Structure 1
Amino acid sequence: MEGSGMTRGPGTAGDGTDEAGAASEASEASEAKGTKGTKGANEAEGAKGSHGDAGTGPAGAGGRAPSSPHPPGAPSGRTGWRAATERALYGPGGFYHRPEGPAGHFRTSVHASPLYARAVATLLTRVDAALGHPAELALLDIGAGRGELLTGVLDALTTPGQRGAGERSGAGAGDLVARLRPCAVERAQRPAGLDPRVEWRDDLPAPGSLTGLLIANEWLDNVPVDVVEVDPDGVPRQVRVAPDGTEKLGDPVPPADAAWLADWWPWPRATETGPDSDPDPGLDSDPDPGLDAEPVRDDGPGTEPVRDDGSRPRAEPGSRAEVGAPRDTAWARAVRTLRAGLAVAVDYAHTRASRPPYGTLTGFRDGREVRPVPDGSCDLTSHVALDACAAAGARAARAVTPVLHTQRDALRALGLTGRRPPLARASTDPAGYLRALSLAGEAAELTDPAGLGDFRWLCQPVGPVAIADVLPLSLPLPLPIPPRDGSGPPRAS
């Protein structure tokens, strides 16, 4: 469950721009409250997971926990991680059907502060203006949990002074709430007490049926994927897992997965001294060495790629990857629900230039990061290859290039700064000063570059919406998208 709240002291004297202290406190509070999404120590250090010993288990998992009893009727044999995750999260008695809901085990940005919903409300008003204030404006929340984000946005739009950071009402904005069609997509039953204006669905609306804003906050990380590991002979193989979390290597990866890995997940190469690069050079590494690598040929599953000169680079044994093709498909399908508007995916992510060498699969239970066990007792999550999703979304949006931002930059563009209020206000309006100070701490947590602020916002425009009109940021992160069909990368919007 969520931990205790952090203690915030008074701001420093001056112009009220001191954010560093609030951000530091926010980061500590985030760890105390079990915020989902920050990198585990194993992943940050490039620590190697194991499928056979009794040590650390898969990367990011901490130590091995005692095996949990199987739920009634649960299979006892091993399957791939994709099937195991599907059953553990969304099957009968699965994690996302538990009565306490996801918020009972971890916090997302939605749970961290109502300021997040206010920022989404600000973004919604800008999208509405960019679309010319349509007769019906959709707000689609995919992976809606218990509807907390939609509830917060409706509150922000209907409570005086709550419509996002200083956003002014434009022409037609006054009737936005009347035109709004909020919709939640979640594979769980509708929660009791949810605002009756919110439509509740267990699947996406029809393609091309919506005009407005689609947001998927920490959804893609829970789309189940298979895990692959390189065996001692350098052959990538499927990882098979039992309900108690024990693993063994199975068959070589099938052709479709091998093709995705060849496009999107370059393996660390074995050398005389081990992997030939820093295991985590950083999400923003530029240029992308994978795009300029020497051409290789893939002879099919169970074989290593072949260079043009006939030599075979050998993958580092023990390297792991999460095959993100199901997430690409899911994101493309989500983008296609829009006739016009903006689709935003928010998640912790990596790109082709900086794939973690041992994967990121982990679990969350009761506010703590735990060993991933596919028995329904914990959340199962892994970081998202968001550049691969971006390529799929660009194809779905008919060649309009998406943009990638950090959450810190995106929220600042929506008015959240984390600045402390002027200390002089403490003597003239003590209660107001304390409220403003509390909000500054919450904003600092949401934008902390060492925590939630390091999340990535993948923004995919559809139709007439231009990113510059809704998120005016001059320096988006580099997002190289290698073409599959020889036609070159999608054009810029």
Structure 2
Amino acid sequence: MERALYGEGGFYRRGERPAEHFRTSVHASPRFAGAVARLLAEVDDALGNPARLDLVDVGAGSGRLLAHVLEAADPALAARLAPVAVEIAPRPPDVPAAVRWRADLPEAVTGLVIANEWLDNVPLDVVEQTPAGPRTLLVDPATGAERPGPEPSAAELAWLERWWPLREPGDRAELGAPRCAAWAAVIGRLERGVAVAIDYAHERAARPVYGTLTGYRDGATVPAVPDGSCDVTAHVALDACATAGERAGADATLLTTQRAALRGLGLSGARPPLDLAHRDPRGYLAALCAAGEDAELTDPAGLGGFGWLVQAAGVPLPAQISTSRP
């Protein structure tokens, strides 16, 4: 999975743009960036409006989220903003000059970190329960053919027992320890502020029995063959990442849904009053389009069903989100 995504000739090393293969909140509507801008403003106030405010987009892809947040933010705030895109793919030519592009995390962050659909692409191993116990699956990178391999390490078995216990032969789990470590690295760099991980997620009480590993290419799901031709992804155990973040220094944690979070940030999806169509037809049409985009972003069967892991260090949890629990 590491080689298929990030190795020489890997899916993301080639500069593939996510919008060409799957729909994300960032590409669904700029209103998502508007909600992030409102969250950023609350974090800014909690920090006391510092002279420099960091905004870090981890797994930035095309850089579109940062570009849209810069457009949506209050000009006075935008003037103090230090936007950073963390992305191994080459910098696209249309990214605003204000955005710093780098392949690794900054050493220290005071502000807001957004990791939208990043953790699901942090490589991991898959384990299957066999009559002889858990075994790590080995995969032919050319065909995707699988066979049982060695027993997981003691640390991996401990992670499984705590976060994704396997019971019956054939049950599968995705070893999420690398995602926990990746998220802990983000929180460890957060001196003061808020970090948000947004992803397909599941919780310990309802892990999928056969796992979630899949591939995406050209807008369709495909077999997760790790040959570099497709995005290989798996849902995230955000509850395990939350514990890792707390160990790394997070003071407060909230696990919620995108639907609840975005509604707290002002995306209600409510249709405009019909009489507006007579008084201001253009205004009505614009409000109707906005309601439709809000509805897509908060649809519990789609993007609204994403998990949000919100963790704070040195500041309270954002009230706009923490008062909007699912």
Distance 2:193 2:252 in 1: 14
Distance 1:416 1:326 in 2: 33
Q: Conserved in 2, the CA contact under 8 Å of 1:130 and 1:469?
A: no
* Deviation of the 1:234 alpha carbon: 4.5
Q: Which residue of 1 aligns with 2:172?
A: 320
Q: Which residue of 2 aligns with 1:434?
A: 285
TM-score (norm 2): 0.97
Asked if 1:348 is matched to 2:246, the reply is: no
Distance 1:107 1:147 in 2: 15
Q: Conserved in 2, the CA contact under 8 Å of 1:234 and 1:316?
A: no
**Runs of 4 or more off by more than 3 Å in structure 1?**
none
* Deviation of the 1:99 alpha carbon: 4.4
**Structure 1 unaligned spans of 5+:** 1-84, 159-173, 268-314, 478-493
Asked if 1:222 is matched to 2:121, the reply is: yes
Q: Conserved in 1, the CA contact under 8 Å of 2:43 and 2:318?
A: no
Q: Conserved in 2, the CA contact under 8 Å of 1:127 and 1:470?
A: no
AA aligned opposite 1:358: Y
Q: Deviations over 1:391-418 (max 9, x none)?
A: 00011115x2311111111001100000
Q: Conserved in 2, the CA contact under 8 Å of 1:109 and 1:446?
A: yes
Point out the structure with max Rg over C-alpha: 1
1:231-380 aligned at under 5 Å gives the runs: 231=130, 233-243=131-141, 244-267=143-166, 315-380=167-232
Asked if 1:121 is matched to 2:19, the reply is: no
1:17-416 aligned at under 5 Å gives the runs: 85-157=1-73, 175-206=76-107, 209-231=108-130, 233-243=131-141, 244-267=143-166, 315-397=167-249, 400-416=251-267
TM-score (norm 1): 0.64
- Look up the SS of the partner of 1:467 in the other structure: coil
- Look up the SS of the partner of 1:402 in the other structure: strand
Query: Which has the larger share of strand?
Result: 2
Distance 2:149 2:76 in 1: 57
1:422 to 273, 279, 285: 273
- Look up the SS of the partner of 1:349 in the other structure: coil
Count of aligned positions: 325
Distance 1:436 1:188, change over 3 A: same
Q: Which residue of 2 aligns with 1:473?
A: 323
Q: Conserved in 1, the CA contact under 8 Å of 2:254 and 2:322?
A: no
Q: Deviations over 1:375-402 (max 9, x none)?
A: 111111111011110000011115x231
Q: Which residue of 1 aligns with 2:299?
A: 448
**For the aligned residues, what is the CA RMSD?**
1.3
Distance 1:431 1:120 in 2: 26
Query: Which has the larger share of helix?
Result: 2
2:310 to 453, 459, 473: 459
Distance 2:266 2:182 in 1: 30
AA aligned opposite 2:125: D
Q: Deviations over 1:98-130 (max 9, x none)?
A: 344121101111111100000000000000001
Q: Conserved in 2, the CA contact under 8 Å of 1:407 and 1:455?
A: yes
Distance 1:104 1:367 in 2: 7
